[in-house]
Amino acid sequence: MAKNPRYFKDLTPIDKIMDRSAKNGFLHFLSNRARLTNIWQQIVGPTVAANTTIRSFEMGRLIIKVPGPAYLEQYQYECQNWIKRINIEFGDEVVTKIVLRVGQS
């Protein structure tokens, strides 16, 4: 079977696909999530980091697990400050909202 040169001409090379993804696609998302996990303790401090866990991060929404209602009440006042500090660290508006949820460790 002969190859159709027009078919192969229209395909996007893998290096261009990877480059696009690294700039604003899935790879960019994964690198942001990994970086956020790495800098969380630096942003919130060791005491808060010991009492919180990043549960998910999707489309600017960061969900943080806390061990009980008292922590939820205490930390809710810090969320806006954390958002600002995270976004300064990234140099972009990566996190738009932090949601605190009570959960078991």
- Residue 31 covered by a domain: yes
Q: What is the pLDDT of residues 26-74, one digit of tens each?
A: 445 556 667 777 889 899 999 999 999 988 888 889 999 999 999 999 9
**Enclosing H/E stretch for 58:** strand 53-58
- Residue 6 covered by a domain: no
Instruction: Kindly give the interhelix angle for 79-90 and 26-44, rounded to the nearest 10 degrees.
Output: 120
Tally of domains within the chain: 1
For residue 48, which of 98, 95, 91 has the smallest C-alpha distance? Answer: 98
- Residue 1 covered by a domain: no
- Residue 81 covered by a domain: yes
Q: Which domain holds residue 44?
A: 14-102
Query: Rounded to 10 degrees, what is the CA torsion of 102, 85, 96, 38?
Result: -60
CATH number at 84 reads 3.30.300.130
Is the pTM for the entire model greater than 0.75? no
